[in-house]
Chains A and B, each alone.
Chain A
Amino acid sequence: MSTFTPNEMMTIAASRALKNDDVCFVGIGAPSAACNIARLTHAPDITLIYESGTIGTAPDVLPLSIGDGELCETATTTVSVPEMFRYWLQGGRISIGFLGAAQIDKFGNINTTVIGDYHHPKTRLPGGGGAPEIATSSREVYITMAQSKRGMVEAIDFYTSFGHGEGGDHRQRLGIDTKGPTLLITDLAIWKPDPLTKEFTVVSLHPGVTREQVQDTCGWPAEFADELSVTQPPTELELATLRDLKARTDAAHKAQAHKV
Chain B
Amino acid sequence: MAQFLPLAQAVAENLNDGDVVAFEGFTHLIPTAAAHEAIRQNFKDLTLIRMTPDLVYDQMIGMGMARKVIFSYAGNPGVGLLRRMRDAIENGFPHPLAIEEHSHAAMANAYEAGAAGLPCAVFRGYRGAGLAEVNPNIRQVTCPFTGEVLAAVPALRPDVTFIHAQKANKRGDVLIEGIIGIQKEAVLAAKRAVVTVEEVVDDFEGLHPNLTVLPAWTVTAISVVPGGSHPSYTQGYYARDNAAYLEWDEIAADRHRFRDWMQRNVMEAGVEDFAGRVAHLRKAA
A-chain residues with CB within 8 Å of residue B51 when the two chains form the complex: 81
Q: Are B78 and A165 in contact (CB under 8 A)?
A: no
A-B pairs with lowest CB-CB distance, top 6: A67-B27, A162-B128, A126-B75, A65-B77, A129-B73, A159-B130
A-chain residues with CB within 8 Å of residue B246 when the two chains form the complex: 257
Q: Are B104 and A86 in contact (CB under 8 A)?
A: no
- The answer to the question of A74 belonging to the interface, with a C-beta cut-off of 8 Å to chain B, is no
Residue of A nearest to B245 (CB): A64
Q: Are A119 and B28 in contact (CB under 8 A)?
A: no
Q: Are B131 and A90 in contact (CB under 8 A)?
A: no
A-chain residues with CB within 8 Å of residue B77 when the two chains form the complex: 28, 64-67
Binds B, one of A131-139, A211-219, A225-233: A131-139
Most buried by B among A69, A90, A125, A175: A69
Binds B, one of A36-44, A46-54, A189-197, A236-244: A46-54
**With A132-B125, A132-B131, A174-B128 in contact, is A69–B105 under 8 Å at CB?**
no
Q: Are A78 and B148 in contact (CB under 8 A)?
A: no
> What is the CB-to-nearest-CB distance from A90 to chain B, in angstroms, rounded to a whole number?
5
Q: Are A81 and B104 in contact (CB under 8 A)?
A: yes
Residue of B nearest to A117 (CB): B134
Q: Are A65 and B74 in contact (CB under 8 A)?
A: no
| Contacts of A105-136 to chain B: CB distance below 8 A | 113, 118-119, 121-133, 136
- The answer to the question of A182 belonging to the interface, with a C-beta cut-off of 8 Å to chain B, is no
- The answer to the question of B108 belonging to the interface, with a C-beta cut-off of 8 Å to chain A, is yes
Q: Are B241 and A256 in contact (CB under 8 A)?
A: yes
B-chain residues with CB within 8 Å of residue A162 when the two chains form the complex: 127-129
- The answer to the question of A68 belonging to the interface, with a C-beta cut-off of 8 Å to chain B, is yes
Q: Are B241 and A260 in contact (CB under 8 A)?
A: yes
Q: Are B108 and A124 in contact (CB under 8 A)?
A: no
> What is the CB-to-nearest-CB distance from B176 to chain A, in angstroms, rounded to a whole number?
10
A82→B71 CA distance, assembly (Å): 15
A136→B150 CA distance, assembly (Å): 13
Q: Are A65 and B240 in contact (CB under 8 A)?
A: yes
Residue count of chain A within 8 Å CB distance of chain B? 60
**With A119-B134, A126-B74, A165-B128 in contact, is A256–B180 under 8 Å at CB?**
no
A122→B90 CA distance, assembly (Å): 7
A-chain residues with CB within 8 Å of residue B86 when the two chains form the complex: 123-124
Residue interface mask B95-128, A partner, CB < 8 A = 1: 0000001011100110110000000000111111
A-chain residues with CB within 8 Å of residue B123 when the two chains form the complex: 85-86, 90
**With A28-B77, A82-B185 in contact, is A113–B280 under 8 Å at CB?**
no
Q: Are A78 and B178 in contact (CB under 8 A)?
A: yes
Q: Are A63 and B78 in contact (CB under 8 A)?
A: yes
Most buried by B among A52, A132, A162, A176: A132
Q: Are A127 and B71 in contact (CB under 8 A)?
A: yes
Residue interface mask A246-260, B partner, CB < 8 A = 1: 000000010011011
Residue of B nearest to A64 (CB): B78
- The answer to the question of B239 belonging to the interface, with a C-beta cut-off of 8 Å to chain A, is yes
B-chain residues with CB within 8 Å of residue A260 when the two chains form the complex: 241, 243-244, 280
Q: Are B72 and A69 in contact (CB under 8 A)?
A: no
Q: Are A130 and B243 in contact (CB under 8 A)?
A: no
**With A51-B104, A78-B180 in contact, is A126–B81 under 8 Å at CB?**
yes
Select which of B28, B81, B185 is within 8 A of A52 by beta carbon: B28
| Contacts of B29-68 to chain A: CB distance below 8 A | 51-52
